[in-house]
Chain A
Amino acid sequence: MASRIDVSIENRRDDRPGEAAHGPNTCPRCRSHYRDDELDANLRVCAQCGYHFPVRARGRIAQLADGGTFFEQDADLRSADPLGFFDLKAYTDRLAEAEMATGLGDAIVAGAAAIERRPCELAVMEFAFMGGSMGSTVGEKFARACERAADRGAPLVCVTASGGARMQEGILSLMQLPKTVSAVDALREARTPLLTVMAHPTTAGVLASFASLADVIVAEPGALLAFTGPRVVQQTTREKLPDDFGLAESNSRFGHVDAIVRRSDLRPYLGRLLALFA
């Protein structure tokens, strides 16, 4: 298999160097090791070097929303298999496995919440569910979150983490780009703010649709934010990639994000923005 190119999104936990060689709780940057509860207590950020570990959707909601305010919507929506897609495995099997592994119905969790006592809609993507890929269900749940936000006049806060469109739904997954863009258009028409927090990684179809259309774009330190990831760029163009290719810091330098905000500052930062938009 060594000679074959592997650009798998699902099987890659992280593009940043080193992680694969270590356990999930070992910092790939400074190799500090943590117990789960230690890491959770520090918002899953390395206390030694500030490396931001991935956060699961439920954990992110717990970090951002005021206690007891999150009220999930559309939890019962599930992906269909419009193409009868079968690669090495049936799409329906992949879905069932992802649901068992994550306890989630698809790669996004959405609902009403309050952040620093400001009411909002909160939609959080789950990278552990098939690489956070966007199929019809993710698109639909995001679009419904937009519609609820517009109805309530409450801002939508969306935390993105996605490898892009979900290939197993073929062209319908590509159609989730204009679908979510349409939902953002309606949100803008209602003058309802959209704030996105781009977590690692926010790439391809999600970056090329709703995530980039937010009124304010916040990025987490070190997150990969790219339409095409470094591996494919390297393979296609044979270009020498800059060390910080596609990272939040590079995106910030080129003017594509409003701010890079450390996880420990994220909740108060969003609270301030929500207050300004209120």
Chain B
Amino acid sequence: MAADPESKPGQIEQLRLRERLTKLRDLPLLRGVGVSGELGRLERQIERIAAEPSADEVWHSVELARHQDRPYTLDYVERIFDDFVELHGDRALADDPAIVAGLARFRGRTVALVGHQKGRDIRERTYRNFGMPYPEGYRKAIRIMELANLHRFPIFTLVDTPGAYPGVTAEQHGQGGWIARCQLEMIGLEVPIVSCVIGEGGSGGAVAIAVADRVLMQENAIYSVISPEGCAAILWRDASEAKKAAAAFKPDARHCLDLGVIDGIVPEPPGGAHMDHDAASALLAESLETALGEIDGNEPKARRLARRDRFRGMGVFVTP
């Protein structure tokens, strides 16, 4: 696991929270609003805030997660797995290069691999559609996961996408529906699944292949409901406020871990994964092996239900 980020005094944050605390106490009581729960939570948050990554650290993660030299799925595949056989096509319409899938050997056994794939140069970026899948990509993912389930191969997924492709054809082919079905598929599988966000975990297009027994994030990966630019454009009406937006919605690994969304943080070599692809791969391989080991021996039906319960329990709300 990664070392904790340096403690920050976060005094301004604390001040802001205290202001809001005061404000909340004075709020006229709306019918049923859970103010008491909110007070307790804010107080706990004040205790915790000193250890939280600062806005600059969060933005640093955003930049590293998108770094042009950061290893992509196939960079890890060639270093981590033996004898990777890529499988193509959704058996319906197309083969989506933004998602790679196939079978490989990992520590002496056969596993299935599904991951988003970005491109390194302009030609490959265009070919890979910048790692933004069409519904065909999710159908391919479903096909390979079904294959793995049938033959009892564990599944690894590597998540690295700005999001599912927002285009006319993608919509016509049912982008939303296939993202939904890919999640439903993963909830239903009886083989072990380990997912790791290795770069950008962009919204629905990312979570579509991240419904796993163990969800990991690399130290400098981000996982978010919307891109910082998209959030800034909507809430601040200005895409250039992306840094502010990122600080507000906290897509970094440390916050995701605190919120119980991920199970562990995969360390990166000093400076970030882009500095040393081999070292980053070795660290990722070790984390994947450990995570798989934790769930490998579990009874398949119980493992499936535990996965479902894990996601069923996601979220924070208050009951007065």
User: Which residues of B, 168-209, contact A by the 8 Å Cβ criterion?
Assistant: 168, 170-177, 179-181, 183-184, 187-188, 203-204, 207-208
CA of A233 to CA of B171 in the docked complex: distance in angstroms?
A: 10
Query: What residue in chain B is nearest A10 (Cβ atoms)?
Result: B234
A245 part of interface (Cβ distance < 8 Å): yes
Q: Are B308 and A4 in contact (CB under 8 A)?
A: no
Q: Are A177 and B24 in contact (CB under 8 A)?
A: no
Query: What residue in chain B is nearest A205 (Cβ atoms)?
Result: B204
B320 part of interface (Cβ distance < 8 Å): yes
A185 part of interface (Cβ distance < 8 Å): yes
Q: Are A9 and B308 in contact (CB under 8 A)?
A: no
Q: Mark A43-78, 1 if CB is under 8 A from B, else 0.
A: 000000000000000000000000000000001111
Residues of B close to A241: CB separation below 8 A: 168
Name the residue among B24, B42, B164, B234 with the largest chain A CB count within 10 angstroms: B234
B223 part of interface (Cβ distance < 8 Å): yes
Quick check: which of B59-67, B76-84, B144-152, B236-244 contacts chain A, the rest being far away? B236-244
Q: Are B184 and A167 in contact (CB under 8 A)?
A: no
User: Which residues of B, 13-72, contact A by the 8 Å Cβ criterion?
Assistant: 16-17, 20, 24, 27, 30, 32-34, 37-38, 41-42, 45
Q: Are B311 and A179 in contact (CB under 8 A)?
A: yes
Q: Are A90 and B20 in contact (CB under 8 A)?
A: yes
A172 part of interface (Cβ distance < 8 Å): yes
User: Which residues of A, 156-204, contact B by the 8 Å Cβ criterion?
Assistant: 165, 167-179, 181-186, 203-204
Residues of B close to A99: CB separation below 8 A: 30, 33
Q: Are B168 and A233 in contact (CB under 8 A)?
A: yes
A105 part of interface (Cβ distance < 8 Å): yes
B318 part of interface (Cβ distance < 8 Å): yes
CB distance from A144 to the nearest CB of B (A): 10
Q: Are B317 and A77 in contact (CB under 8 A)?
A: yes
Q: Are B316 and A172 in contact (CB under 8 A)?
A: yes
B231 part of interface (Cβ distance < 8 Å): yes
Q: Are B318 and A172 in contact (CB under 8 A)?
A: no
**A165 CB contact (under 8 Å) in B179, B184, B225:** B225
Q: Are A174 and B33 in contact (CB under 8 A)?
A: no
Which A residues are closer than 8 A to B by beta carbons?
Answer: 1, 4-9, 75-88, 90, 92, 95-96, 99-100, 105, 135-137, 139-140, 143, 165, 167-179, 181-186, 203-205, 207-213, 225-228, 232-233, 236-237, 239, 241-242, 245-246, 250, 254-256
B271 part of interface (Cβ distance < 8 Å): no
CA of A165 to CA of B17 in the docked complex: distance in angstroms?
A: 25
CB distance from A72 to the nearest CB of B (A): 12
Those 5 A-B pairs whose CB atoms lie nearest each other, nearest first: A136-B315, A207-B176, A228-B166, A227-B176, A175-B314
The verdict on A237 contacting B33 (CB below 8 Å), with A80-B318, A137-B317 known, is no
**B317 CB contact (under 8 Å) in A6, A136, A212, A245:** A136
Q: Are A173 and B225 in contact (CB under 8 A)?
A: yes
Residues of B close to A174: CB separation below 8 A: 203-204, 207, 223-225
Q: List 26 A-B contacts (CB under 8 A).
A: A4-B238, A4-B239, A8-B234, A77-B317, A78-B317, A84-B16, A84-B20, A96-B27, A135-B315, A139-B315, A165-B203, A167-B234, A168-B249, A171-B250, A171-B251, A174-B225, A175-B314, A177-B180, A177-B204, A205-B204, A207-B176, A212-B174, A212-B176, A213-B181, A228-B175, A237-B167
Q: Are A210 and B180 in contact (CB under 8 A)?
A: yes
Number of chain B interface residues as a range? 35 or more
CB distance from A141 to the nearest CB of B (A): 9
The verdict on A185 contacting B308 (CB below 8 Å), with A87-B236, A96-B30, A165-B225 known, is yes
The verdict on A228 contacting B171 (CB below 8 Å), with A80-B38, A99-B30, A204-B204 known, is yes
B259 part of interface (Cβ distance < 8 Å): yes
**B173 CB contact (under 8 Å) in A140, A175, A203, A254:** A254
CA of A207 to CA of B175 in the docked complex: distance in angstroms?
A: 9
Q: Are B314 and A167 in contact (CB under 8 A)?
A: no
Q: Are A227 and B317 in contact (CB under 8 A)?
A: no
CA of A174 to CA of B164 in the docked complex: distance in angstroms?
A: 14
CA of A136 to CA of B208 in the docked complex: distance in angstroms?
A: 18
CB distance from B159 to the nearest CB of A (A): 12
Residues of B close to A100: CB separation below 8 A: 30
Q: Are B171 and A179 in contact (CB under 8 A)?
A: no
Residues of A close to B183: CB separation below 8 A: 177-178, 181, 209
Q: Are B171 and A227 in contact (CB under 8 A)?
A: yes
CB distance from B131 to the nearest CB of A (A): 14
Name the residue among A5, A168, A254 with the largest chain B CB count within 10 angstroms: A5
Q: Are B172 and A254 in contact (CB under 8 A)?
A: yes
Residues of B close to A169: CB separation below 8 A: 225, 315-316
CA of A63 to CA of B125 in the docked complex: distance in angstroms?
A: 50
CA of A129 to CA of B235 in the docked complex: distance in angstroms?
A: 16
**A227 CB contact (under 8 Å) in B17, B179, B188, B314:** B179
Query: What residue in chain A is nearest B33 (Cβ atoms)?
Result: A78
B94 part of interface (Cβ distance < 8 Å): no
CB distance from A220 to the nearest CB of B (A): 17
CB distance from B188 to the nearest CB of A (A): 6
CB distance from A213 to the nearest CB of B (A): 5
Q: Mark B235-279, 1 if CB is under 8 A from A, else 0.
A: 111110000010011110001100101000000000000000000
CB distance from A25 to the nearest CB of B (A): 28
